Amino acid sequence: MATSPLNAPPSFHARSNSLPSRQHPFTSQIDENLNRLRKSQSASTSSSIGHQLYCLQDLYDSVDMLLQLPLFQQALAQEQQRKWIEQLSDESLMLLDVCGTAKDALSQTKECTQELQSILRRRPGVEGLANEVRRYLTSRKAVRKAICKALKNLKHMENKLSSSSFSKYGETGAVISTLKQVESVTASMLESLLSFISVPEAESKWSRWSLVSKLMHQKRVTCEEEEQKANEIRNVEATLRSLIKSGNMKHVENVQNELQNSELCI
């Protein structure tokens, strides 16, 4: 089957029964984007996650171009590839479901954030705000519940992907392995995003560490504490709880600032 020079190099014409080589430019782009994402996944601030999402878009643009190659589609249509393709499709559908969970969580959080901002503008004082604040926190609890389920599914998927090996299948296995890596890094990226949105309440892990352990890991602890402070959604919840507890006007001003930061973050 003839192919356009823009779609595949000439050397592919003689290899109609196998998948494109890993040296194909699209595959090289995928590898570069994978490496870029892996290097950026250590940080979990809103700005770093935003950057990772842009990188993830670039990664899938490269994957899409690879999947559009006529020779690639012809090779994957072969009977012996069916099991792998069905598995990849099932995993991709699960990732789409998780994306839907993340989108819904962000939309609901943004809606509640804007509603609370509007109420605070109409009622500058503390009185009567307690119920509205509790409504916001109840909404966030529902978001966390949905995210918890999605995170469990992601963890299960990541365990399956980490145990996959296709090295013995040569060139075909190499391409399947690349697509599996794409799914794996996507799952990891979505896990970071969902964890950022959910900001689960938990006992502070710092309180369980000994003084010696704190001193030994001081640099890492400081870094993680700074990332916690940089979570705009977490800051809103903390300030709202302080408002309910103290009834201090100062906290109302803090809440307004934190809500604005959270909306920008979302």
Q: What DSSP letter does each residue of 199-259 carry, written as one string?
A: ------GGGGS-HHHHHHTHHHHHHHHHHHHT-HHHHHHHHHHHHHHH--HHHHHHHHHHH
Q: How many residues does the chain have?
A: 266
Reported as a single tens digit per residue, the pLDDT across 165-210 is 665 555 667 778 888 899 999 999 999 999 999 986 543 333 333 4
Measuring CA to CA, which residue among 58, 55, 50, 103 is closest to residue 264?
A: 50
For residue 151, the model assigns a pLDDT of 94
Average pLDDT, the chain: 77
Q: Which amino acid is at 182?
A: V
Assess if residue 132 is contained within a domain. Answer: yes
Assess if residue 247 is contained within a domain. Answer: no
What's the CA gap between 32 and 122, in Å, rounded? 51
Residue-number span of the structural domain to which 73 is assigned: 19-200
Assess if residue 234 is contained within a domain. Answer: no
Assess if residue 228 is contained within a domain. Answer: no
Q: How many domains, the chain?
A: 1
Assess if residue 44 is contained within a domain. Answer: yes
Q: Measuring CA to CA, how many Å separate 198 from each of 113, 222, 242?
A: 14, 22, 19
Element housing 24 (H / E): none
Assess if residue 131 is contained within a domain. Answer: yes
Assess if residue 216 is contained within a domain. Answer: no
The residues, any chain, with a CB within 8 Å of residue 58's CB and separated by 6 or more, are 33
For residue 211, the model assigns a pLDDT of 40
Assess if residue 266 is contained within a domain. Answer: no
For residue 9, the model assigns a pLDDT of 40
Reported as a single tens digit per residue, the pLDDT across 66-123 is 888 887 777 777 777 788 888 888 999 999 999 999 999 999 999 999 999 998 888 7
